[in-house]
Structure 1
Amino acid sequence: MPLVTLTVGKPTAPARRRAILDAVHDALVASGVPATDRFQRVLELDPADFVFDPRYPDLHADRGADFVLIEILWSVGRSVKVKRQLLTGLLAGLAAHDIDGEHVMVVFKETAWENWSFGGGRILHA
């Protein structure tokens, strides 16, 4: 039940946005998320509204207009091992589309299972 938010600079080509979203989804599915559990949104921001440090904490080359921020909100309980496997799969998927993983930041955010209602006010896991 992840909710993925992709933040990119404006303009970003629709094909690039879709390639990133597909790579995220493929990595999530490989980590055990059901294939039909796809909830994603894209924020495309003007440069003045998307502020980031070019090298923090240890990049070898500056981030630029191609910087990608991926936030994955999902239920608590995934191990560091699962997160590392997801990142490995994600970076491989991005590399297949010539997207430099050094310029991709991923943030995992976790919430309790009872904080999800997919519709009708029903909480499925409480």
Structure 2
Amino acid sequence: MPFVRVSYMENEHDKDSLSLVSNTIMEALMKEFNVPEKDCFQVFHSHKKEEFIYAPTYLLRNDRSNCLLYIQITCGPGRTQQQKQSLYKELANQLHSQINIPKEDIFVVLVETSLENWSFGDGLAQMII
């Protein structure tokens, strides 16, 4: 049930690389969070350079670049710290190896919400019925 938002600077990623980013995120979620294969909901947002702001070195050994991806994953609760750490590592490793995005440019934020806060349509909270 994760809902994923990916923000990036316009012209830094083409449609083919964004498709790979999407697939990589989904594969990592299936592997590390046991998300079902068809449970894929993602939105990609491009931003003009003046709208995309980041600190190049904050908490890193190397600088971030304009290839930076902000990946926000909203999901239900219940994953362990180990699962979360494994997800972050899997995303960084796979996006680097498959698309050559520097690991420093994979910025992930997990937002956990309780199950009653989700409706997948039909005016129902399917996860608590």
Q: Same fold (TM over 0.5)?
A: yes
Q: TM-score, normalised by structure 1?
A: 0.93
**1:91-121 C-alpha deviation (Å, 9 max, x unpaired):** 2221222111111100000100111110101
Q: Is the contact between residue 26 and residue 90 of structure 1 (CA under 8 Å) also seen in structure 2?
A: no
Between the aligned partners of 2:127 and 2:18, the Cα distance in structure 1 is 32
Percentage of pairs with the same residue: 30
Q: Secondary structure at the match of 2:92?
A: helix
Which residue of structure 1 aligns with residue 41 of structure 2? 39
Q: TM-score, normalised by structure 2?
A: 0.91
2:114 equivalent among 100, 112, 115: 112
Segments of structure 2 that go 5 or more residues without pairing to the other structure are none
State the number of aligned residues.
125
Which residue of structure 2 aligns with residue 66 of structure 1? 67
The amino acid across from 2:88 in the alignment is: L
Between the aligned partners of 1:102 and 1:86, the Cα distance in structure 2 is 15
2:102 equivalent among 100, 103, 116: 100
Runs of 4+ in 1 over 2 A off after TM superposition: none
Query: What root-mean-square deviation, in Å, do the aligned CA atoms of Structure 1 and Structure 2 show?
Result: 1.1
Which residue of structure 2 aligns with residue 20 of structure 1? 21
Between the aligned partners of 1:62 and 1:96, the Cα distance in structure 2 is 18
Segments of structure 1 that go 5 or more residues without pairing to the other structure are none
The amino acid across from 2:10 in the alignment is: K
